[in-house]
Chains A and B, each alone.
Chain A
Amino acid sequence: MKKPALERPVLLDVQDITRLYGPAKGCEAIDFQLHAGEVLGIVGESGSGKSTLLRVLAGLEAPDAGRVVYRRHAGEDVLDRDEAELDLYAIGEAQRRALLRLEWGLVHQNPRDGLRMGVSAGANIGERLMAQGQRHYGQLRETGQAWMRQVELDAGRIDDAPRTFSGGMQQRLQIARTLVTRPRLVFMDEPTGGLDVSVQARLLDMLRTLVRSLGLSVVLVTHDLAVARLLAHRLMVMRRGQVVETGLTDQILDDPQHEYTQLLVSSVLTP
């Protein structure tokens, strides 16, 4: 009898990443593994290096030292062993950009950074598909409308420009645009930052549903512990470029060990 694998396969193996702009500015000696289907939260104050780390992980900025290894076929039948392990900064730029565009996704804090503001919502959602080589207008449009419904946007507004959308709707659009190619790994940088509380709550709810239904693996950077508690399975607490504590989300938030984590948890305002 085949036993189910208890340990989920490693999707992203981060080995000793250092990227410093100056002493204690940036991130230093970061080591962790992300398993398939896992949501990892990175929390910390402003300037703790969490965004730098995300940029390095997402392939936007080369690290000073260390490796980011992506195990492409984790959890599936390994058909092609040479392709199975990709060292993000050792592979060529063409391959890295193709990976970022097609298998990975990045959700920016400000939807204006992730969207093309000059073209319609439908064109935004379709862009990654067109980059993959889809050349059928009708199908692109159907997919666009399906995704708009999935992120709870009015599909009738497919031809409207993103600038006519509210902040929360723009963020939903950015998420649809990113997820349309069914990426396996998504990086999110403060996806609910700058939104008001009720909009945040609905967006988080939607994100949680999507993560579960699509089986996404997510690296989530946030300074908001409530967001982290709702979405993340596991947390990494950063301070001054270093990881001070890691563990399961509930464990970290309910029983913080490091004094900085204790400070962080006790600083949360409760109405």
Chain B
Amino acid sequence: MNGYNFAYLDEQTKRMIRRALLKAVAIPGYQVPFGGREMPMPYGWGTGGVQLTASILGADDILKVIDQGADDTTNAVSIRHFFQRVAGVETTTATTAADVIQTRHRIPETPLRSGQILVFQVPIPEPLRFIEPSEQETRLMHALEEYGVMHVKLYEDIARYGHIATTYAYPVKVDGRYVMDPSPIPKFDNPKLDGNPALMLFGAGREKRLYAIPPYTRVESLDFEDHPFEIQRWEHSCALCGSDHSYLDEVITDDKGGRMFVCSDTDYCQTRRGEVA
């Protein structure tokens, strides 16, 4: 496409972001500031993730974009089109075929392999923000490993609801050091962060922060001894593919109380149906 550099960003910006990414990979879970650029889309639509993807994308890479697990939702479709136009890269919906997967709110059900890169879109990168509004203070708390307040939040959950009611953006400790917000993925996906063979990058466009979990890194979800971490479970199986072990969305089908549970990962669901059929 005329008038644009490959993948929209200029090469200097890409270098700057890659340097920040190298630092993020070197210090797992640490939030690295970067000079975020204006992108041709509003904040909150994935500007952080798009900048990271643009910086790491090569001409031969195959890109997959998902939003809430689905390849066919607005956010996923428009970002996929964006990179088709400005980078001319090949795109796919198959998790196994993709080199780079940009995601919002999910990790694919199909296990990732070594060599793949998962790019997360992050709204609020600071896990301590809800309890400490000052950025200066939260940075100091990270530097000094003052993470007692994270458990205040979990304590409050149990006191109020009888169990840890945080179901998404569930805080994790990366490599025994930094407490990190895994972006608003359901806590169902938290165990997939631990020891994953793929490289996972997180970009927050509004806050201009990026962080990373290198392959095969230890990631623990915070909990109490007498209230251990648990993932969501459903009594149903997927109405389409019959899966009893994937993350399910509840879909309302009419105004008479009709509903069905289906996999949120559309590629996984379709692949399973193809195999069964």
How many residues on chain B are close to A (CB under 8 Å)? 20
- CB within 8 A of A123: which of B140, B144, B156? B156
- Chain B residues with CB under 8 Å of A138's CB are 226
How far, in angstroms, from A67 to B144 measured CA to CA in the complex? 24
- The reply to whether A137 and B156 contact each other, CB–CB distance below 8 Å, is no
How far is B42's CA from A238's CA once the two chains are assembled, in angstroms?
58
Q: Which residues 137-183 of A have a CB within 8 angstroms of B?
A: 137-138, 140-141, 158-159
Whether A132 lies near B148 (C-beta < 8 A) is yes
| Minimal beta-carbon separation of B211 from chain A (angstroms) | 22
Whether A127 contacts B149 by the Cβ 8 Å rule is yes
The answer to whether A136 and B225 have CB atoms under 8 Å apart is yes
Q: Which residues of B contact A240 (CB under 8 A)?
A: none
Q: Which residues of B contact A118 (CB under 8 A)?
A: 131
Tell me the chain A residues, 110-144 only, with Cβ under 8 Å from chain B: 116, 118-120, 122-123, 126-128, 130-132, 135-138, 140-141
Contact A120 B159 (CB under 8 A): yes
Q: In the complex, what distance in Å separates the CA atom of A258 from the CA atom of B11?
A: 75
Query: Could you say which residues of chain B place their CB within 8 Å of the CB of A97?
Result: 144, 146
CB distance from B159 to the nearest CB of A (A): 5
By a CB distance below 8 angstroms, the chain B residues around A116 are: 131, 152
Residues 148-199 of B contacting A (Cβ, < 8 Å): 148-149, 151-153, 155-156, 158-160
Provide the bound-state CA to CA distance between A214 and B226, in Å.
30
Interface residue B224 (Cβ < 8 Å from any Cβ of A): yes
Partner of A127, one of B152, B160, B224: B152
Partner of A130, one of B143, B152, B159: B152
| Cα of A140 to Cα of B224 in the assembled complex, Å | 10
Q: Counting CB contacts under 8 A, is A16 at the interface?
A: no
Contacts of B146 in A (CB 8 A): 97, 101, 131
Residues of A contacting B160 in the complex (Cβ-Cβ under 8 angstroms) = 120, 159
Q: Which residues of A contact B151 (CB under 8 A)?
A: 130, 135
Within 8 A of A (CB), among B204-257: 223-227
Query: Contacts A128-B148, A130-B148, A131-B148; is A122 near B225 (CB within 8 Å)?
Result: no
Taking CB atoms, residues of chain A closer than 8 Å to B224 are 135-137
Contact status B155-A130, CB under 8 Å: yes
| A64 located at the interface, meaning its Cβ lies under 8 Å from any Cβ of chain B in the complex | no
Task: Specify which chain B residues have a CB less than 8 angstroms from the CB of A141 in the assembled complex.
Answer: 159
Distance, CA A195 to CA B159, complexed state (A): 30
**Chain A nearest CB, measured from B131 CB (Å):** 7
* A263 close to chain B: CB less than 8 A: no
Question: Interface digits, B136-150 against A, CB 8 Å rule (1 contact, 0 not)?
Answer: 000010011010110
Q: Which residues of B contact A131 (CB under 8 A)?
A: 146, 148-149
- Taking the complex as formed, is A94 at the interface, i.e. its CB lies under 8 A from any CB of chain B? yes
In whole angstroms, what is the CA distance A94 to B156 when docked? 27
Name the one of A94, A123, A127, A128 contacting B159, with C-beta atoms under 8 angstroms: A123
| Cα–Cα, bound, A120→B140 (Å) | 25
Q: How far is the CB of B65 from chain A (nearest CB, A)?
A: 37
Question: A205 near B: Cβ within 8 Å?
Answer: no
How far is it, in angstroms, between the C-alpha of A107 and the C-alpha of B159 when the chains are bound? 25
Please tell me if the beta carbons of B152 and A137 are within 8 angstroms of each other in the complex: no
- In the bound assembly, the distance between CA atoms of A53 and B131 in angstroms comes to 29
Q: Is A61 an interface residue (CB 8 A)?
A: no
Contact of B156 among A101, A119, A128 (CB under 8 A): A119
* Residues on the B chain within 8 Å of A159, using CB: 159-160
Given contacts A123-B159, A126-B155, contact A137 B148 (CB under 8 A): no
Contact string against B for A residues 80-105, beta-carbon threshold 8 Å, 1 for contact and 0 otherwise: 00000000000001100110010000
- In the bound complex, residues from chain B placing their C-beta under 8 Å from that of A123 are 152, 155-156, 159
Interface string of A55-95 (1 = CB under 8 A from B): 00000000000000000000000000000000000000110
Q: What is A's interface to B at a CB cutoff of 8 Å?
A: 93-94, 97-98, 101, 116, 118-120, 122-123, 126-128, 130-132, 135-138, 140-141, 158-159
Spell out B's residues near A (CB within 8 Å): 131, 140, 143-144, 146, 148-149, 151-153, 155-156, 158-160, 223-227
- CB pairs A–B below 8 angstroms (20 shown): A93-B144, A98-B144, A101-B146, A119-B131, A119-B152, A119-B153, A119-B155, A123-B152, A123-B156, A123-B159, A127-B152, A128-B148, A130-B155, A131-B149, A132-B148, A135-B224, A137-B224, A137-B226, A141-B159, A159-B159
